[in-house]
Amino acid sequence: MVKVTYIKNGQPIEIETDSTGQSLLEVAQENAVEMDSACGGNGVCTTCLIKVIEGTDSLGAVTEKEEIMGMDPTNPEYRLGCQCSVNGDCCVELAY
C-alpha cells in the first residue's frame, strides 16, 4: 500500500492504494478525486498538471510526452498527472 496525497484548493485528500504503477490521474479517478483531463489522459494537454510537494523519487521518470509538453526531466517539480506513475508515497498539488 502507498499513500497518495492530493492537495486541491488548499485541502489535502489522502488516498491509500495498492495501485502502484498506475498514473496519478488513474488513482484520482478510481478514488473520486476530481482531476481535470481534457485530453483523456493521453499526455497532449496540461489540464492534469501537478506540482510535486513530496515524493519526487516515488514517481516514475518523466516521459517523452511530458518532455514534448515542456516538462523538464532534470527538475521534475511539475508533472502531468496522466503520465507519472505512482511507485511510493507522494504528495502532489493539483494546478487546476
Mean pLDDT of 3-24: 95
In CATH terms, is domain 2-94 a member of 2.40.100.10? no
pLDDT tier at 19 (50, 70, 90 boundaries)? confident
- Are 17 and 2 a contacting pair, CB within 8 Å? yes
Residue 95's Cβ-count burial label (10 Å; 0-12, 13-18, 19+) is middle
pLDDT at 25: 98
The domain locations on the chain are 2-94
Residue found by looking up cell 499526455 in the block: 43
Phi first, then psi: give them for residue 22, nearest 5 degrees.
Answer: -85, 160
Q: How does pLDDT run across 28-60, given as a tens digit for each residue?
A: 999 999 999 999 999 999 999 999 999 999 999
pLDDT tier at 95 (50, 70, 90 boundaries)? confident
pLDDT at 24: 98
**CB count, 10 Å around CB of 79?**
24
Amino acid at 20: T
